[in-house]
Structure 1
Amino acid sequence: MAVGNVASLERAEMNVDGDEASAQTGFCQGMATERDTAPRGLRRVVRWAAIALSGTALSSFAGAALAQEAGLEAGRLLSSTEIMVPTLTIGALAAALLSTIWLVRQKGNIEAESRDVRSALSDAQQKISKYEALIAEKNRRIVIWEAGPGRPEFLGQLPVETGAPAQDRDFLAFGRWLSTTSASELERAIEALRGNARSFDMVIETIRNEVLEVQGRVSGGKAFVRFIALNNLRAELAELKIERERLSNSMSLFQSLLDSLEQPVWRRDVNGNLTWVNHAYSDAVEAASPTAAVQEGHEFLGTIAREKIRATATTASPFHDRMSTVVRGNRTIFDISDVVGPGGSAGMAVDVSEAETVREELNRTLKSHAETLDHLATPVAIFDGEQRLQFYNQAFVRLWDFDLGFLESRPGNAEMLDRLRSQNKLPEQLNWRNWKESVLSVYRSLDTQSDRWHLPNGQTLQVIATAHPQGGATWVFENLTEQMDLETRYNTLVKVQGETIDHLSEGVAVFGPDGRIRLSNPAFRVLWNVTEEQAKPGTHIRAIEAACAYEYDKPDGWRHFGQMLTNFDDERPSLQGTFELHSGLVLDYAVIPLPNAQTMLTFVNRTDSALAERALKEKNEALRKADELKNDFVQHVSYELRSPLTNIIGFTDLLKTPGLGDLNERQAEYVDHISTSSSVLLTIVNDILDLATVDAGIMQLNYNETDIDELLDDVSLQIANRLQENNVTLEINAPAGLGAIVADQQRLKQILIKLITNATNFAPEGSTITLNCWRQSEDFFFSVADRGPGIPEDMLKTVFDRFSSSNKGGKRSGAGLGLSIVESFVTLHHGDVRIESGPSQGTTVTCRIPSALNARSVAAE
């Protein structure tokens, strides 16, 4: 600013000098003109007037006044020209004089002001140089931000040892040379300074552990951030401040950690009073909060325990012991640690009740393990860190036949090996010393050592030696003699089984859980026409499927095998089926899961039996069709016979009518025979028709509610004539209140009439037929018993067959359809028929017919 003022003054001085020069130039020009045009006396007056006029504008007014006055006077005495010249001369002289005086004074003032400005400029430049020198110190640096997004201005430098970059573009990358915490805090402070004009003072730390003071201010629309490298006391003060904050944070962190522990922690003053406890302490003493526990003086330990701690604990020797106290009503053992310092003491209690329980349990476990090892059949010996015998079991004694006194003397491992060698119980070695050192190297090894000893007595031992982390080793002697014998026999058995499988006529292939073949026999390869290379062990079932595709290309075969082999189901089901190959072979296959997660596939060539089965099926189909044809014929004939029989019966009844004339005795007898035979034939035709309807599956049951008493009365009326003809009595036994049954009433009548008719045919004259009826829940039972000759045992199996009849002991032979119809109708009602009979014991037929829940009409299936 001072430099600018001096320049302004210099420019003003130059303007003044220029105006003076211009005035002198104009004056000279005016004098030259006067000399050319006016007389000499007049030119002199004009010259002075021009000088006066050129000096100032005030002289013009004076000259005008003089000219006016001179003009008035000249009007009296002289002419206008003579008057004007003196007037102008006087005015010019006055003006020149006044201008000269004013110019001299102005020039003096300007020179004085110029000297003052130059002096102020010099002072300002000296101050600027001084300030720049101060700013340019290596202990501070200033960053200036103008309003807006422009680049900042940098002044000064920081010492190199602070780690601050010297380049301006690197200085603002605070994360590169400041600690992470200081960099983030400084960036937030600068952002608040530039955005919200919020000043700040802070202390930051560089990555070289140097301390800097940072000040942020806003002035004149600019943001200033000053970085100051602290020295001596200020640096120490800043470091102490940082260290104080660090220690405060650490103490707060440790206090939070102690407060979150599950172990009670406390702090006391020099007088032994509580000053702080954690939440676990307050919970243990059942206080509302840690503050309440301190204020109310709740003690975690008893008086004796506290006095013992106070008397024992010192600064050099902290107290550490186990004590018991009551926590929530339970006696608990704690591991107490208490340290003493200048400001008091602090302690912590660790619950070791569970550890004590675990230790006791460990001792019991070790004792139990020792007892268990003592009962093991495997010899075990344990040596301590000095390689002396610590434990042995009975199997170890039996194996080596040691003297118990020798074992109880706790011999060393090397001594035991020497004794065994002397007794010729160890394998013969070419270099005994090296072998023994190799065996005893287990004590210096980190890994378990395993070796196989072939003893002179023919036994084979697997010796496993495991070193203990705390020193010592455990020796286990596993007798492999039987195992090796079993392995030999197993290998022999495997070879025998392999030879057996190879000579089987069945194709056998075994696959592992990964779907790869383990073994296959030649029969398998012959049946599927695959080579030994294509079915070699390790081939995946997909490759087998591709090789067998030429013989069997249906996707549901081998693909299904692959899914069964590789699934992860807990239960693997077996599978059986039949294949028919393109070559005409018919194979029976079976998928059999094996216990070791493998699967066996077997294929049996049953082409011959399949052809025979196919022929039998074709024959059976022909028989079935013949049976259907028979049923159709019987049904057709039955319908065709019913019409003429109905006519015969009708005309026979018509002949018996008195209106057509009287018949002689023989004619009447013939008409009765015709009527009886026609009725029997109609019954047979109806029975055949009913059976044909049942076989065709078109018979319908019309369910309705039928009262049992009414049903029995109706049946007794309809069968009365037949009973009278055979001189047989019907006895009906039915308890009162049986209720009603939901069934087909017409078919129930047919069932009972057929049973009574069958019994009437075999019952002796004058005997009684018994019809019993009872109910169990929703099931109704109907039983018809006669006292006839009974049915032989060999005929019981065929009594329900159609057209199976025997008139042995019967009064009348029939078509043998009665019991067959009874069985069909009872089955349609979802019931069953049971017959009991024996020679000379009569016959009892019992039918169970359930009552339908809903009355409906159904067709036989």
Structure 2
Amino acid sequence: MGLERTARLAARVGALVVGALFCLGAAWAAPADPAASLHMHGVAGLSVLGGLLAFATILSLLHLRERARWTRRDREQAAALDALRGAHDRAEMLLNAERQIIVTWNARSEPVIEGDVGLAFDGRSAAGAARRVLAFGSWLLPADAGAIEAAVEALLVRGTGFHLALRSQDGRSIEAQGQAVAGRALLRLRETSEERREIAELRETLDEARRGVAALAALLDAIPQPVWRRNREGGLAWVNMAYAAAVEAPSREAALDQGLELLDRPARETVAREDIARRGAGPAVARLSAVVSGSRRVLDVFESRADTGRVGIAVDVSELESVRADLQRQMNANVRTLDQLPTAVAMFDDRQRLIFHNAAYRQLWDLDAAFLENRPSDGEILDHLRAQRKLEEHADFRAWKQGVLAAYRAVEANETWWYLQDGRTLRVVADPNPQGGLTYLFDDVSDRVNLESRYNALMRVQAETLDTLREPVAVFGGDGRLTLANRAFSAFWRLDPELIAERPRVEAVIEACRRLAPAEEPWLDIRDRVVGLESREGLACRLEVVDGTVLDCTAQPLPDGATLLTLIDVTASVNVERALTEKNDALEKAAQLRDSFVHHVSYELRSPLTNIIGFTQLLGDESVGALNVRQREYSEHIMRSSGALLVIINDILDLASIDAGSLELKREMVDVPATVEAAMRGIEDRLAESRLTVQLDVPAGIGSIYADGKRVRQILFNLLSNAVGFSHPGERIEVRARRTATDLTLSVRDHGIGMPAEVAALVFDRFESRTLGTRHRGVGLGLSIVRSFVELHGGRVTLESSPGAGTCVTCSFPLVDPEAHVEAAE
């Protein structure tokens, strides 16, 4: 480049020289004095030529100097150019090392796009692809295109850098990074799909590893055994929650910070020695004692080596040790128990040697203890028993013995029967042991066999006995099948012998019997008693046969789960019962008719009697005319007789209402002294006529009672009337009232003739009236009404009387709370 400038400069200089010569020639060619002109031109030419030569010389020297300087600069520039080209090549190499696009802007130029422009179109080449790179909407998703356009605008305007993750329309991942560098704006687009996939896979692998570690840690925290991990120096690096609880630390971190050890130093040294002894062939195992959560426990410690140290776990075997000790005690207890059993037990090992026997075995065969202590074999014991003639005789004893010893090779228990020469029968069970060997159980069933034989004979006798009975009898077993039916049962119900021989179920028997007794309900009850699981109680029901026969059926459960069914013909007694029932019904209807008649007649008599009393009062008042003495006497007699008749009719109506259940008490608070005085006023005339005195013993503070006042007055009136009727003139009648915490008692005592016990037992019956030597004669309703009214109040009546000592009638009324009585009524 310097040489070219020098050449151009030389050319210019030459041109100037030529021009100067051209100008000089023109001057020489101008018209003038030739001599002067020649002289002048000569002088001028020499002067110019000298100047030009001097100028050329200077110029040449300057050119040579400049050329030397430019030659050194060209060499420096060439070296710098080579270095720049090397940097350019390295930049291109780095640029093309991965799929990326570099876009740069300066203040005055268009953007320069370099790199793999196919990145924007997934390798597709297209015209103007480089220019279309910046048309982000043509190859990026709309949202990402808007984001990068805004970011590029901010970079170009304000120099704001950015870093975005973009997605192309074909699903590839693009990383966009923009920044301002040396006054230029730089945009770098790089594909990161493969990196993202690898990062996602690594992240997934890492997450899976973390989840596995978390799950393992959670599992280790969930187990109740302490678990720990030690580092290479032997210090605790991690413990589970059970470890922290075992060392009574508030948290896992506290246990690690404080270095709390579950095992003391001697225990850890024991585990270390065990590990050295195993030489890493497996985990070190040691049974140690340690304090766990404040209590001394027995632990099985397992510790093994790991890449980062050691891991260990401690299993609490305190309960196992306790169970083992209990098991040993239980085995000893079982041995003692087996010694107490009546069943002979003998155990042999896998070599057929005796290892255990109980006292019953020794007593069964009458064997010497010294012989058994020598642990003889099973075959030797059999030979010994045969020599002593304690076994049954066999034609081929050797074959029988081999059959007995074959139980050692069996997989299941074998049961056989031995019939000894002394008449005993043994049930022999040979049970193989899981560890090898055999256990013999010798059960003497001689008594059971004898009992079974006697039982079978007894059953045959009972069957023959039942067959001779005239009453139908059947027995159903616990499975609901007919096990026994006598001839009377089969004949009465006309059952097929083949059906009975098949032991039919109770449903089949009932179906056959219902042809003669079609009522369904009794048979359902019988079936429930035979096959029902809920009730095992007896049943009594009645069956009516179509021919008029009536049977009383009894189903009685038996101890063995069976049910006895017996039938008794009660036709005659049922007919009698029916006749008596019909007669009783007729009597009840007659009583009802009598009560209805009395009630009706009483009502019918009451109306005319009321008229008689009313007209008699008019005559006695002499409002219709004066009466003579005899007429007035007759009027008084009519009045007294009508009143007595009215009382009798009212009593009859009250009794009829009581019998019908329609009489209701009208309870109220009744003043006791006032009620007694009202009853006295009603009988003053009779007292005066009979010249009797009444002594009242009613305390002033006796108070009131919640009762029907009208009925209480009627009770007292009847009692006083009865006392007046059985008293002699001049005698005394006592009326007494007493109150306790629960009762109010009213009693009326007379000092008349009294009555014997047999009469006193009947005075409360209706229409029971006796004179007992007095002029009193009534219809016998007074005391009956008294008892009925008192009982309606919930009370009771008592009578005390003896001949010559008078009579005392006492009525007790319970004290009733009015509010409680109203609530109970509601």
TM over 0.5: yes
1:467–1:840 Cα change, 3 Å = farther
In structure 2, C-alpha distance between the alignment counterparts of 1:356 and 1:781, rounded to whole Å: 80
Q: Map 1:533-552 onto structure 2 (within 5 A).
A: 533-534=498-499, 538-552=503-517
In the alignment, does 2:453 pair up with 1:488?
A: yes
1:622–1:462 Cα change, 3 Å = same
Range moving further from structure 2, 246-255 or 454-463: 246-255
1:824–1:254 Cα change, 3 Å = closer
In the alignment, does 2:578 pair up with 1:628?
A: no
Amino acid at match of 1:610: V
Structure 1 residue 353: deviation in Å?
Answer: 0.1
Q: Is the 8 Å Cα contact of residues 788 and 809 (structure 1) preserved in structure 2?
A: no
In the alignment, does 2:363 pair up with 1:363?
A: no
In the alignment, does 2:547 pair up with 1:588?
A: no
For the aligned residue pairs, the C-alpha RMSD in angstroms reads: 4.3
Q: Is the 8 Å Cα contact of residues 519 and 543 (structure 2) preserved in structure 1?
A: no
Structure 1 residue 296: deviation in Å?
Answer: 4.0
Q: Map 1:27-42 onto structure 2 (within 5 A).
A: none
Secondary structure, in 3 states, of the residue corresponding to 2:418? strand
Secondary structure, in 3 states, of the residue corresponding to 2:328? helix
What residue in structure 2 maps to residue 418 of structure 1? 383
Amino acid at match of 1:284: A
Aligned residue pairs total: 629
What residue in structure 1 maps to residue 398 of structure 2? 433
Q: Map 1:281-680 onto structure 2 (within 5 A).
A: 281-287=243-249, 290=252, 293-314=255-276, 315=279, 319-340=284-305, 344-512=309-477, 515-534=480-499, 538-563=503-528, 565-569=530-534, 571-643=535-607, 645-646=609-610, 663=628, 675-680=639-644
Structure 1 residue 671: deviation in Å?
Answer: 6.2
Structure 1 residue 598: deviation in Å?
Answer: 4.1
Amino acid at match of 1:439: V
Secondary structure, in 3 states, of the residue corresponding to 2:667? strand
What residue in structure 1 maps to residue 235 of structure 2? 273
Q: Map 1:69-108 onto structure 2 (within 5 A).
A: none
1:767-791 CA-partner distances (Å, limit 9, x unpaired): 5444343445565333334445544
Structure 1 residue 366: deviation in Å?
Answer: 1.7
Secondary structure, in 3 states, of the residue corresponding to 1:381? strand
Secondary structure, in 3 states, of the residue corresponding to 2:296? strand
In the alignment, does 2:728 pair up with 1:760?
A: no
Secondary structure, in 3 states, of the residue corresponding to 1:556? helix
1:796–1:572 Cα change, 3 Å = farther
Structure 1 residue 811: deviation in Å?
Answer: 4.7
In structure 2, C-alpha distance between the alignment counterparts of 1:790 and 1:517, rounded to whole Å: 71
In structure 2, C-alpha distance between the alignment counterparts of 1:274 and 1:540, rounded to whole Å: 78
In structure 1, C-alpha distance between the alignment counterparts of 2:265 and 2:555, rounded to whole Å: 81
1:722–1:490 Cα change, 3 Å = farther
In structure 2, C-alpha distance between the alignment counterparts of 1:483 and 1:407, rounded to whole Å: 29
Q: Pick the aligned partner of 2:748 from 777, 784, 791.
A: 784
Secondary structure, in 3 states, of the residue corresponding to 2:455? helix
Is there any run of 5+ residues in structure 2 with no aligned partner, and where?
1-121, 123-166, 175-192, 195-204
Amino acid at match of 2:746: F
In structure 1, C-alpha distance between the alignment counterparts of 2:230 and 2:771, rounded to whole Å: 120
In structure 1, C-alpha distance between the alignment counterparts of 2:169 and 2:333, rounded to whole Å: 78
Structure 1 residue 613: deviation in Å?
Answer: 1.4
In structure 2, C-alpha distance between the alignment counterparts of 1:536 and 1:739, rounded to whole Å: 84
Structure 1 residue 552: deviation in Å?
Answer: 3.8
Amino acid at match of 2:233: N
Q: Is the 8 Å Cα contact of residues 333 and 352 (structure 1) preserved in structure 2?
A: yes
Secondary structure, in 3 states, of the residue corresponding to 2:392? coil
Structure 1 residue 195: deviation in Å?
Answer: 9.0
What residue in structure 1 maps to residue 793 of structure 2? 829
Amino acid at match of 1:714: A
Structure 1 residue 821: deviation in Å?
Answer: 1.4
In structure 1, C-alpha distance between the alignment counterparts of 2:420 and 2:804, rounded to whole Å: 86
1:246–1:421 Cα change, 3 Å = farther
In the alignment, does 2:681 pair up with 1:717?
A: yes
1:645–1:339 Cα change, 3 Å = closer
Secondary structure, in 3 states, of the residue corresponding to 2:666? strand
Structure 1 residue 329: deviation in Å?
Answer: 0.4
1:592–1:264 Cα change, 3 Å = same
Q: Pick the aligned partner of 2:648 from 656, 664, 684.
A: 684
Secondary structure, in 3 states, of the residue corresponding to 1:350? strand
In the alignment, does 2:660 pair up with 1:696?
A: yes
1:207-257 CA-partner distances (Å, limit 9, x unpaired): xxxxxxxxxxxxxxxx99xxxxxxxxxxxxxxxxxx999999999987776
What residue in structure 2 maps to residue 815 of structure 1? 779
Structure 1 residue 447: deviation in Å?
Answer: 1.7
Structure 1 residue 621: deviation in Å?
Answer: 1.7
1:183-214 CA-partner distances (Å, limit 9, x unpaired): xxxxxxxxx99995689xxxxxxxxxxxxxxx
Q: Is the 8 Å Cα contact of residues 728 and 766 (structure 1) preserved in structure 2?
A: yes
Q: Map 1:229-240 onto structure 2 (within 5 A).
A: none
Structure 1 residue 596: deviation in Å?
Answer: 4.0
1:446–1:268 Cα change, 3 Å = same
Secondary structure, in 3 states, of the residue corresponding to 2:367? coil
1:608–1:374 Cα change, 3 Å = same
Amino acid at match of 1:432: F
In structure 1, C-alpha distance between the alignment counterparts of 2:452 and 2:503, rounded to whole Å: 24
What residue in structure 1 maps to residue 225 of structure 2? 263
Secondary structure, in 3 states, of the residue corresponding to 2:260? coil
Structure 1 residue 300: deviation in Å?
Answer: 1.6
Structure 1 residue 511: deviation in Å?
Answer: 4.0
Amino acid at match of 1:416: I
Q: TM-score, normalised by structure 2?
A: 0.66
Q: Is the 8 Å Cα contact of residues 274 and 285 (structure 2) preserved in structure 1?
A: no
Secondary structure, in 3 states, of the residue corresponding to 1:716? helix
Structure 1 residue 807: deviation in Å?
Answer: 2.4
Q: TM-score, normalised by structure 1?
A: 0.64
Amino acid at match of 1:274: L
Secondary structure, in 3 states, of the residue corresponding to 1:637? helix
In structure 2, C-alpha distance between the alignment counterparts of 1:264 and 1:830, rounded to whole Å: 79
Q: Map 1:737-756 onto structure 2 (within 5 A).
A: 737-756=701-720
In structure 2, C-alpha distance between the alignment counterparts of 1:668 and 1:717, rounded to whole Å: 24
Q: Is the 8 Å Cα contact of residues 443 and 473 (structure 1) preserved in structure 2?
A: yes
Structure 1 residue 733: deviation in Å?
Answer: 3.6
1:682–1:397 Cα change, 3 Å = same
In structure 1, C-alpha distance between the alignment counterparts of 2:455 and 2:531, rounded to whole Å: 28
In structure 2, C-alpha distance between the alignment counterparts of 1:193 and 1:428, rounded to whole Å: 104
**Percent identity at matched positions?**
43
Is there any run of 5+ residues in structure 1 with no aligned partner, and where?
1-146, 148-191, 200-222, 225-242
Amino acid at match of 1:380: V
Amino acid at match of 2:447: E
Amino acid at match of 2:656: A
In structure 1, C-alpha distance between the alignment counterparts of 2:489 and 2:170, rounded to whole Å: 89
Structure 1 residue 819: deviation in Å?
Answer: 1.8
Amino acid at match of 1:298: L
Structure 1 residue 710: deviation in Å?
Answer: 1.7
Structure 1 residue 326: deviation in Å?
Answer: 0.6
In structure 2, C-alpha distance between the alignment counterparts of 1:601 and 1:697, rounded to whole Å: 45
Structure 1 residue 334: deviation in Å?
Answer: 0.5
1:624–1:407 Cα change, 3 Å = same
1:337–1:782 Cα change, 3 Å = same
Secondary structure, in 3 states, of the residue corresponding to 1:263? coil
1:195–1:284 Cα change, 3 Å = farther
